[in-house]
Amino acid sequence: MLKKIRQTIEGKKVLILGFGREGRSSLRLVCKAGGWETLAVSDLREVDPSREAGGNKVELFTGEHYLDRELLDSFDIVFKTPGIVLPEEPKVYRCRFVSQTELFIERFRDQIVGITGTKGKSTTSSLLYHILKETGEDTVLAGNIGIPVFDIAEDIMPGEVIVLELSCHQLEHIQVSPRIAVLLNLYEEHLDHYGTMAKYVRAKQNIYAWQREGDILFCNVDVLPGKEIEGAGKESACVPCRGEIISAVMVPEGEKARGAGDIEVAGNAVRYRGSGLRIPEEGISLFGRHNYFDIGVVYGICKEFSVTDEKFLKALRTFQTLPHRLQYLGVKEGLRFYDDSISTIGETTIQALESVKNVDSILIGGMDRGVDYSQLEEYLTGSSVRHIILMEATGKRIYREIKEKYPTLFASGRLALTEHLEEAVDLARELGEEGGACVLSPAAASYGIFKNFEERGEYFRQYIFGQEGRQAAR
Q: What is the mean pLDDT of the chain?
A: 94
Q: How many domains does the chain have?
A: 3
- pLDDT of 472 over the 80 cut: no
Q: Same structural domain for residues 296 and 427?
A: no
CATH code for the domain in which residue 313 is found = 3.40.1190.10
Stretch 239-264: mean pLDDT = 92
Q: Same structural domain for residues 183 and 279?
A: yes
C-alpha–C-alpha distance, residues 371 and 394, integer Å: 9
Which tens digits make up the pLDDT trace of 433-450? 999 999 999 999 999 999
- pLDDT of 255 over the 90 cut: no
Nearest Cα to Cα of residue 334 among 423, 474, 437, 461: 437
- In a domain, residue 419? The reply is yes
Which tens digits make up the pLDDT trace of 87-128? 999 999 999 999 999 999 999 999 999 999 999 999 999 999
Name residues whose C-beta falls within 8 Å of residue 455's C-beta, 6 or more positions apart in sequence: 446
Q: Same structural domain for residues 347 and 239?
A: no
Stretch 408-416: mean pLDDT = 97
- pLDDT of 135 over the 60 cut: yes
Q: Same structural domain for residues 294 and 388?
A: no
- pLDDT of 162 over the 70 cut: yes
Residue 121 is labelled as binding a ligand: yes
What pLDDT was estimated at residue 71?
98
* Alpha-carbon distance values, 87 to 15, 83, 84, 378 (Å): 17, 12, 10, 37
Residue 81 is labelled as binding a ligand: no
Q: Same structural domain for residues 117 and 239?
A: yes
Name beta bridge partners: 62: 43
- By DSSP bridging, strand 112-116 and strand 161-165 are parallel
CATH code for the domain in which residue 441 is found = 3.90.190.20
- pLDDT of 137 over the 80 cut: yes
**pLDDT tier at 189, thresholds 50, 70, 90:** confident
- In a domain, residue 440? The reply is yes
What pLDDT was estimated at residue 470?
40
Range from 83-87, 363-367, 377-381 carrying the lowest mean pLDDT = 83-87
> Are 338 and 327 within 8 A, CB to CB?
yes
Q: Same structural domain for residues 107 and 92?
A: no
- In a domain, residue 254? The reply is yes
Residue 119 is labelled as binding a ligand: yes
Q: How many CA atoms lie within 13 A of 81 on its CB side?
A: 20
Count helices and strands (H / E) in the chain: 18, 20
CATH code for the domain in which residue 82 is found = 3.40.50.720
**Domain boundary, last residue among 285, 317, 349:** 317
Q: Same structural domain for residues 210 and 256?
A: yes
Range from 232-236, 252-256, 292-296, 354-358 carrying the lowest mean pLDDT = 252-256
Residue 120 is labelled as binding a ligand: yes
- In a domain, residue 322? The reply is no
Residue 366 is labelled as binding a ligand: no
Give percent of the chain with pLDDT exceeding 90: 90
C-alpha–C-alpha distance, residues 346 and 354, integer Å: 13
Please report, as a single letter, which amino acid is at residue 247: S
Range from 178-187, 338-347, 464-473 carrying the lowest mean pLDDT = 464-473
What pLDDT was estimated at residue 254?
81
**Domain range for residue 307?**
102-317
Q: Same structural domain for residues 113 and 92?
A: no
C-alpha–C-alpha distance, residues 86 and 89, integer Å: 7
**pLDDT tier at 240, thresholds 50, 70, 90:** very high
C-alpha–C-alpha distance, residues 60 and 51, integer Å: 13
- In a domain, residue 118? The reply is yes
* Alpha-carbon distance values, 182 to 118, 130, 178 (Å): 12, 17, 9
Range from 158-167, 188-197, 220-229, 364-373 carrying the lowest mean pLDDT = 188-197
SS3 140: strand
Sheet order of strands, 335-339 included: 327-332, 335-339, 437-440, 359-364, 387-390, 415-417
Q: Same structural domain for residues 113 and 242?
A: yes
**Domain boundary, last residue among 272, 296, 317:** 317
Strand blocks (E) in 151-201: 161-165, 180-183
Residue 38 is labelled as binding a ligand: no
**Domain boundary, last residue among 288, 317, 346:** 317
- In a domain, residue 66? The reply is yes
Q: Same structural domain for residues 162 and 231?
A: yes
What pLDDT was estimated at residue 467?
60
- pLDDT of 374 over the 70 cut: yes
- In a domain, residue 129? The reply is yes
Name residues whose C-beta falls within 8 Å of residue 7's C-beta, 6 or more positions apart in sequence: none
- pLDDT of 165 over the 60 cut: yes
Nearest Cα to Cα of residue 458 among 448, 446, 360, 365: 446
- pLDDT of 164 over the 80 cut: yes
C-alpha–C-alpha distance, residues 359 and 51, integer Å: 50
Residue 133 is labelled as binding a ligand: no
- pLDDT of 471 over the 60 cut: no
Which tens digits make up the pLDDT trace of 34-58? 999 999 999 999 999 999 999 999 9
- pLDDT of 257 over the 80 cut: no
Q: Same structural domain for residues 193 and 306?
A: yes
- pLDDT of 7 over the 80 cut: yes
Q: What share of the chain is helix, strand, coil (3-state, %, to 5)?
A: 40, 20, 40
Give percent of the chain with pLDDT exceeding 70: 98
- In a domain, residue 136? The reply is yes
Q: Same structural domain for residues 64 and 146?
A: no
